[in-house]
Structure 1
Amino acid sequence: MLSFIVFSMLLNSMSVIILQLSQNQGYSYTGLGLLEFFKDIPIALVSVFLVDFIKKRSYFSSLCISLIVCAICSFSVPFLSEFWFLKVWFILIGISFSIGKICVFTIIKNISDTEKEFSKTMSRTEAAFMLGVFIVNIEFALILNSDYKDYWKFGFWLVGIISTWTAFWFYKNDQKEESYTKKAEHTEKIDFRVLYNYRSGLFFLLVSLIVFTEQIFNSWLPTFYKHTLKADSFFALQSSAFLALFCFLGRLLASKAVVKFAPMRIFFVCLISAIVLISSAFLIGQYSDVKVKILMFVFPLVGIFTAPLYPMLNSKFLSKFSERRVGKMVSFIILFTSLGGSIGSMSIAYIFQKNLGNYYLLFATIPLILILIFSIFFSIKEKITHYIK
């Protein structure tokens, strides 16, 4: 959970960087949108090939390496302001996150005996990811609202300190966990046949659309508040921070609810509620004179319902695989979610570039409606498969 907080603080600093650099006329929205490409596409390209590297080293030591890279990136960013460095910076963070996510998901699979236990632990860990988003937005909002706003990049040092401490903890405990994280005796060939399976294909499409939607909010919500709703930087970052806080609560509540209810039932309730709320927010934003104040309260409610979608669907899919295959499946998940995140961010960048920010919320409902349609097919396929067995 602590390592996920580190990754989320760095990955979701994208919203802060876009907000700050968009005020500089030397950067276009489409150019800033390409930063997402440098974060996500390298993840997509290398994630599938990292699994065997991780198995050779053990999950804890691999996680330790990824956190050390994150710490180095965090401490160095205030001293290197060139745009090319940000591209390299996001590439390194993206690859580190790939390693970390494969390790964390596989560790969770190792300690979970049932699907519900797996869903519960997944939701709590993903909740920690949203807590990191909340912390990074509040931290930078306070810095940008202070007399030291010109030194905002030093805010990344907090991430560096947390990352260093977590890596040190993993290094100390790696030997204790040796029996639990066995090293692979041989490498396996990458099996791409899973991509041709109808059920798996639907799942990868769904997680791509979910991350597509999350990226619309996580990276561009502050920009929407500042440039479309004319809010100041502090208010804009607060909006993103409180969205993350309610996402954290949503995933925490989902981890409790999954004990009593089926994961897919929770998934559908949250999905339909999110569509209704975002559609309502769009109408409020179009026709209300107090839209900024109202949207400040509506968006956190949206987070409660959108946040559980990703862990619920992941746990439902991954619970069907053995520990040996989970790492491979996670690498494919990272591949498709990276593509979804990049496409989502670049699409929104184009919308802002064309001065269509008023339709930001309307655009956000499109992937959610597609998720609803395809998830119905996914559930039908799941029931048919279970019936045949």
Structure 2
Amino acid sequence: MSRLFIIAAIAATYFIFAILLNSVGTVILQSINSFDVSKTEASTLEAFKDLSIAFVSFAVASFIPRLGYRFAMLLALVGVSLACFVTPIFESFLAVKLLFAAIGVSFAFVKVSVYSIVGQLSTDTDSHSSLLNTIEGIFMLGVLSGYWIFAWFIDNENPASLSWLQVYYPLAGVILLAALVVFFAPIAAPPVKDEQTSVWRDFVDMLKLTYKPLVLVFVISIFLYVLIEQGIGTWLPTFNNQILHLPSHIAVQMTSIFAAMIAIGRLSAGQILRFINWYPFLNICLALMALAIIVTLPLATDLTNVPIDSIFDAPLAAFLLPLAGLMMAPLYPVINSVMLSSLPVYQHSQMTGLIVVFSALGGTTGSVVTGALFDALGGQTAFYLSLVPIGLIMLSLVFFRRLSNAQKREVELGAV
């Protein structure tokens, strides 16, 4: 029962942060409409979020075990709840930027804690991968919910209206409820390799992980994956609105299909991976993702601007493009599981810090580059170019499999 309570606590926390983090695409669209900012300027919201995650994760990941996972999560939840409450009062693009910075800082504490707790609750690679896929699947259910929650507050009759900012008041209350669940969860004290070592030594040990070829190839793979996911996910509402000519609220609702596909993909992957090795499975996913992009984008050409009153009036491309999410879904948690399960538990917080840093950098790069390409070359070309990092991930997985197998053999021989 205590294990289920802990899983419920980390799932609730991850769910609410999924809503906040992945609202960035919706908020970019609404900021363009409400604050009259350019696409390039609006894309800086991703940087405020992801660079905050990267900086804080890099600075404190090795310190969080000493702070305690439960306390770190509570600190993050209370802090972001206050930020959500204050943002609608100021009604400015600067306030929204600062909100995403606060979300990023808080999520850095949460993700390091959640991934480390998953390591505590797992006994082997299979159980780790299964639980992590479930948690990441719940994360995507939060993303899915977020699109509909934000769409509910959008005034489609007046695109420049600031009514959508009112969504942050109920979100602030829900965040505090999640904090209450975390407060009562029996989360174990983090394992520390040596109580006598300093925080600085822990930080140096985290940096030393990057010297391992396996870790280097791993972070490249994670960076490329998040670049694709955030590039598409962040700009899909704008793509739906400006390329497919969907009204703002329907453009946001249609984007929820992308999140739903990722949720389904991750929740299903845990079961599929019981019967198939992760390497061929991920390569099949990458090939199908590329195929979905190649087949779908031509359908978004020369669409007429006809009245669209519901999601059922949307063109076929609006339904097919999000299917890429189903294919990409398993990549992130599976690669993370292979990496984390190859390390001792006391190194999980340090490794998670590196995961969060490079995920954040990949997310910012994907959003900013896609936004710039969207402005300069159009939405279709911007999405076509995601085929480049897909090919690079296929290449990186070749080396990742070789190195992870070598690491496993060393562990079996007792060399590590």
- Establish whether residue 67 from structure 1 lines up as the match of residue 71 from structure 2: no
Q: How far apart are 1:258 and its partner, in Å?
A: 2.2
In structure 2, relative to structure 1, the CA distance for the partners of 1:288 and 1:26 (3 Å cut) is closer
Any conservation in 2 of the 1:28–1:353 contact (CA below 8 Å)?
Answer: no
- Quick check: 31-40 or 107-116, which moved more? 31-40
Look up the match of 1:359.
Answer: 381
Match of 1:153 among 165, 170, 176: 165
Match of 1:220 among 235, 243, 246: 235
Give the AA of the match of 2:393: I
Look up the match of 2:15.
Answer: 5
In structure 2, relative to structure 1, the CA distance for the partners of 1:263 and 1:91 (3 Å cut) is same
Separation in structure 1 between the aligned mates of residue 87 and residue 34 of structure 2, nearest angstrom: 18
Give per-residue Cα distances to partners, 1:283-328, cap 9 Å, x unaligned.
3324777995211221332111111110011001110111110000
Aligned length: 386
Look up the match of 2:348.
Answer: 326
Any conservation in 1 of the 2:219–2:355 contact (CA below 8 Å)?
Answer: yes
Separation in structure 2 between the aligned mates of residue 185 and residue 164 of structure 1, nearest angstrom: 33
Look up the match of 1:22.
Answer: 32
Look up the match of 2:98.
Answer: 88
Q: How far apart are 1:51 and its partner, in Å?
A: 2.5
Look up the match of 1:284.
Answer: 299
- Establish whether residue 162 from structure 1 lines up as the match of residue 180 from structure 2: no
Separation in structure 2 between the aligned mates of residue 384 and residue 166 of structure 1, nearest angstrom: 41
Separation in structure 1 between the aligned mates of residue 170 and residue 322 of structure 2, nearest angstrom: 25
Look up the match of 2:283.
Answer: 268
Look up the match of 2:8.
Answer: none
In structure 2, relative to structure 1, the CA distance for the partners of 1:25 and 1:151 (3 Å cut) is closer
Match of 2:129 among 104, 112, 119: 119
- Establish whether residue 190 from structure 1 lines up as the match of residue 200 from structure 2: no
**TM-score normalised by the chain length of structure 2:** 0.87
**SS at 1:320's partner residue?**
coil
Separation in structure 1 between the aligned mates of residue 14 and residue 281 of structure 2, nearest angstrom: 23
Give per-residue Cα distances to partners, 1:67-119, cap 9 Å, x unaligned.
11121122222112222222222111101101000000000000100101000
Give the AA of the match of 2:151: A
Separation in structure 2 between the aligned mates of residue 12 and residue 380 of structure 1, nearest angstrom: 34
Give per-residue Cα distances to partners, 1:318-376, cap 9 Å, x unaligned.
10111110000010111111111111111111122225223132022221121112112
Q: Which runs of 5+ in 2 are unaligned?
A: 1-10, 307-312
In structure 2, relative to structure 1, the CA distance for the partners of 1:252 and 1:170 (3 Å cut) is same
Look up the match of 1:293.
Answer: 315
In structure 2, relative to structure 1, the CA distance for the partners of 1:98 and 1:308 (3 Å cut) is same
Separation in structure 2 between the aligned mates of residue 98 and residue 122 of structure 1, nearest angstrom: 17
Q: How far apart are 1:226 and its partner, in Å?
A: 0.6
- Establish whether residue 106 from structure 1 lines up as the match of residue 123 from structure 2: no
Separation in structure 2 between the aligned mates of residue 114 and residue 142 of structure 1, nearest angstrom: 42
Give the AA of the match of 1:260: F
Any conservation in 2 of the 1:212–1:340 contact (CA below 8 Å)?
Answer: yes
Q: Which runs of 5+ in 1 are unaligned?
A: none
Give the AA of the match of 1:379: R
Separation in structure 1 between the aligned mates of residue 182 and residue 52 of structure 2, nearest angstrom: 26
Q: How far apart are 1:189 and its partner, in Å?
A: 3.9
- Quick check: 37-46 or 9-18, which moved more? 37-46
Give the AA of the match of 1:49: A
Separation in structure 2 between the aligned mates of residue 134 and residue 385 of structure 1, nearest angstrom: 37
Any conservation in 2 of the 1:68–1:164 contact (CA below 8 Å)?
Answer: yes
In structure 2, relative to structure 1, the CA distance for the partners of 1:387 and 1:111 (3 Å cut) is closer
Look up the match of 2:270.
Answer: 255
Give the AA of the match of 1:276: L
Look up the match of 1:171.
Answer: 183
- Quick check: 299-308 or 249-258, which moved more? 299-308
- Establish whether residue 370 from structure 1 lines up as the match of residue 392 from structure 2: yes
- Quick check: 17-26 or 250-259, which moved more? 17-26
Any conservation in 2 of the 1:246–1:304 contact (CA below 8 Å)?
Answer: yes
RMSD, aligned α-carbons? 2.3
Separation in structure 2 between the aligned mates of residue 255 and residue 145 of structure 1, nearest angstrom: 39
Q: How far apart are 1:146 and its partner, in Å?
A: 6.6
Any conservation in 2 of the 1:137–1:240 contact (CA below 8 Å)?
Answer: yes
Any conservation in 1 of the 2:262–2:328 contact (CA below 8 Å)?
Answer: yes
Q: How far apart are 1:32 and its partner, in Å?
A: 1.0
Separation in structure 2 between the aligned mates of residue 107 and residue 386 of structure 1, nearest angstrom: 22
Separation in structure 2 between the aligned mates of residue 93 and residue 302 of structure 1, nearest angstrom: 27
Give per-residue Cα distances to partners, 1:230-254, cap 9 Å, x unaligned.
1111221112111111111110001
Q: How far apart are 1:384 and its partner, in Å?
A: 4.7
In structure 2, relative to structure 1, the CA distance for the partners of 1:150 and 1:80 (3 Å cut) is closer
Give the AA of the match of 1:285: A
Any conservation in 2 of the 1:119–1:263 contact (CA below 8 Å)?
Answer: no
Separation in structure 1 between the aligned mates of residue 93 and residue 232 of structure 2, nearest angstrom: 23
Give the AA of the match of 2:204: I
Separation in structure 2 between the aligned mates of residue 326 and residue 225 of structure 1, nearest angstrom: 39
Give per-residue Cα distances to partners, 1:109-164, cap 9 Å, x unaligned.
00100101000000010011111111110112222257796421111223222210
**SS at 1:44's partner residue?**
helix
Match of 1:144 among 139, 154, 169: 154
- Quick check: 22-31 or 249-258, which moved more? 22-31
Give per-residue Cα distances to partners, 1:12-70, cap 9 Å, x unaligned.
11111111121257311111112211111122122122134322231112111111112
- Establish whether residue 201 from structure 1 lines up as the match of residue 211 from structure 2: no
Give the AA of the match of 2:124: T
Look up the match of 2:360.
Answer: 338
Q: How does 1:302-321 map to 2 (within 5 A)?
A: 302-321=324-343
- Quick check: 105-114 or 258-267, which moved more? 258-267
